[in-house]
Each structure stands twice: as structure tokens, then as C-alpha cells.
Amino acid sequence: MTGRIVITRSLTAAVMEEAQRLPGELVVLGEAPPERSALLDAVANASAILSQLTERIDDEVLAAAGQGLRIVANGAAGVDNVDLEAAARRGVVVSNTPGVLDDATADLALALILATTRRVVEADRFIRGGSSWIWGPQEWIGLQLSAGATLGIVGLGRIGMAVARRAHAFGAGIVATGSRATGAEAAALGVEAVTLDELFARADIVTLHCPLTAETEGMVDTSRLASMRRGSYLINTGRGPLVDEEALADALDSGHVAGAGLDVHEHEPRVNERLRGSDRVVLLPHIGSAGAATRDAMGRLAVRNIAEVLAGRDPVTPVR
């Protein structure tokens, strides 16, 4: 008999309507991230969990669900919040939602690149502050992406490639690391495959699109920031812990790094106060996938993965 299907956070109306057709008792834990105890209680006898990046799905949660749990459908492209090894030991399928959020996240990355390098948010705050001003030929000068700036893409996967297409349209030079950096599409966009060290040394703007793993956590540290060109920019729409934010604050204070655009944060949802206080940092509340169509598509894909597994078939987008 099919057990309960636990949805850890309320999703869009279209997705919730689709979820109602899943076989089993639907349990929705609310709008806010559930308390740990509430999550552990709710998943008892669950056959499926539709989780979000705000929930840590570890061995304790999997054990609380019991032997009837068949799938954890994570509503994100990343799965760093899910203990994949524990799921594998228990025979639980893990799925994610890759592909459907590529364009929305790439749009947001480009928005951060432009807002940071052209000082859009800083200038907006200046105007709203009521200071007197007059146009001047040396005022508010920033880096111009379309004038041959070099964009370094760390992680040229699906999202990174979508960023490369947009940056190419703006006329930027592109260097990249990642699985697709030597492929035909990258070559057509003029992407040059380089090592990580070379990328940080050459790029005017570095944008992060790699997954969070034990190897990548804290990869942008004091040493890596020091290797960047003076006056360069850092953009992060991947995962917050890729960046040592205290090291970034030091690099901004010294002027070595000219600016940063962060959609994600090292200790999310807490925001580094030094970065919050800097006019040269654009800070967003993790909205990379927050296009209306994209959030619907992500939720629908997660629901479809659950439906497939409960019907005895493979998920559409298995993690492993």
C-alpha cells in the first residue's frame, strides 16, 4: 500500500494541483522550512519526500521514514542537502530538477554581472539617498562587458553554458573550466578552456556555476582571491559555501576585488555583515530560479519523478 507523500514546503498552485493526483496521502508541511522535529515526525511511513534545499535529508530522516521510503525528490538542481550515500545504502532513489532552471539562473547571473560591474545598485542607492548630483564624464564609471571584458565561468555545465551564450551576445571574451569547456558549442561561442588557476588570473569577472562538494567548498579563499586581477569582480549564483566570505570582505576592503554579486550566501540565510555594509556588493536572497515558469517547471518535474518511481519506473532525472 502506498504510504504518505511528504512535501516539505508549499509549492506553486499549479504544482500543488498536480501533486494532488499522486497516489497516497499528501502531507504538506507549510510555507516555512519545517522544524527538524516536525520533519522527522512527518516522514514516518512516507513513500516519497519532495524536499527543498532548506531541508537536510540525512540518514536520520531516512531512518525516520522507514523501509517504505522509495524516493527523495529534491526540488533543486543541486543535491548537497541530501546524503546520497545514506540513500543508496537504504535503496532510496534520489532525483533532482536539472535543466528546467538553467535559463532563469543564467538570466539572474547576467543581471548580477551587469548590476555589479556597471554599479547599478550602488547608483540607485545614491539617488535614493537624496544626495545632490550632476552628470559628469568621470562619474560612476564601471567595467563594460561589451568592450572586451573577459568572463571566467567556473563550471561550464548546463547553467554555465547558458551564461556563456548570453555573455557571447554581449561581446565578452570567455574562459572556462568544466565538462563542456572543450565541446563544440563552447568552441562556437569562442570559449577558451583553461585551468582553474589560469581562469582566476585572467578573468575580469569570475562567475561560479559548479556544484558544492567536499572539493569545492571554500574554493574561493584568500589565496584564490589574491590570484584574481586587481579590480576584478566575483559573482556567485551557485552555492554560498563555495566562497569564504570573510576572505572576500577582506579583498573588497583592500580594493583588490572591485565588487561582488551574491545570490547565495556562505551561512544562508544569515548574511555576512561586512558584505551587507559594502556599497560594492549586490546581495540577493537566493532567487536564481525564481522565474514563475521555472518554479512551476521545477515542481512539476519533482512531482513527475515521484509519480514514476511510485509506479515502479525509473525517475526522469535520477541523481544516481
- List, for residues 50-94, the tens digit of each pLDDT value: 999 999 999 999 999 999 999 999 999 999 999 999 999 999 999
pLDDT value of residue 248: 98
- List, for residues 184-199, the tens digit of each pLDDT value: 999 999 999 999 999 9
Cα 200 → chain centroid: 20
pLDDT value of residue 139: 95
Measured in degrees and rounded to the nearest 5, phi and psi for residue 308 equal -65, -45
- List, for residues 57-67, the tens digit of each pLDDT value: 999 999 999 99
Residue 37 has pLDDT above 90, yes or no: yes
Cα 273 → chain centroid: 21
The DSSP line for 87-147 is HHHTT-EEE---STTHHHHHHHHHHHHHHHHTTHHHHHHHHHTT------TTSS----GGG
| 205-208 β-sheet, strand order | 191-193, 173-177, 150-154, 205-208, 232-236, 257-262, 281-283
- List, for residues 129-154, the tens digit of each pLDDT value: 999 999 999 999 999 999 989 999 99
Residue 1 has pLDDT above 70, yes or no: no
pLDDT value of residue 320: 66
Q: State which H helix or E strand residue 193 sits in.
A: strand 191-193
pLDDT value of residue 3: 82
Mean pLDDT of the region 216-237: 98
Domains of the chain: 4-98+292-310 (3.40.50.720), 102-283 (3.40.50.720)
Cα-atom radius of gyration of the chain, to the nearest Å? 21
Cβ within 8 Å of residue 80, ≥6 positions away: 53, 211, 212, 213, 239
Q: Hey, how many other C-beta atoms are within 10 angstroms of the C-beta on 75?
A: 27
H helices of the chain, in order, are 13-19, 36-42, 59-65, 84-89, 102-117, 120-128, 158-170, 184-188, 196-202, 222-226, 245-254, 273-276, 292-310
Q: State which H helix or E strand residue 191 sits in.
A: strand 191-193
Give Cα separations from 111 to 21, 105, 167, 284, 296 (angstroms). 37, 10, 11, 11, 22
Name the band, by pLDDT with cuts 50, 70 and 90, for residue 286: very high
Q: Give the 3-state secondary structure of residue 6.
A: strand
Mean pLDDT of the region 268-272: 97
Residue 106 has pLDDT above 70, yes or no: yes
Name the band, by pLDDT with cuts 50, 70 and 90, for residue 247: very high
Give Cα separations from 229 to 220, 242, 253 (angstroms). 14, 19, 15
Cβ within 8 Å of residue 182, ≥6 positions away: 193
Buried-state track 235-254, b at ≥16 Cβ within 10 A, e below 16: bbbbbbbbbbbebbbbbbee
Cα 203 → chain centroid: 21
pLDDT averaged over every residue in the chain: 96
What amino acid positions are annotated as catalytic residues?
239, 268, 286
Contact indicator for 299, 320 with CB cutoff of 8 Å = no
Name the band, by pLDDT with cuts 50, 70 and 90, for residue 23: very high
Residue 2 has pLDDT above 80, yes or no: no
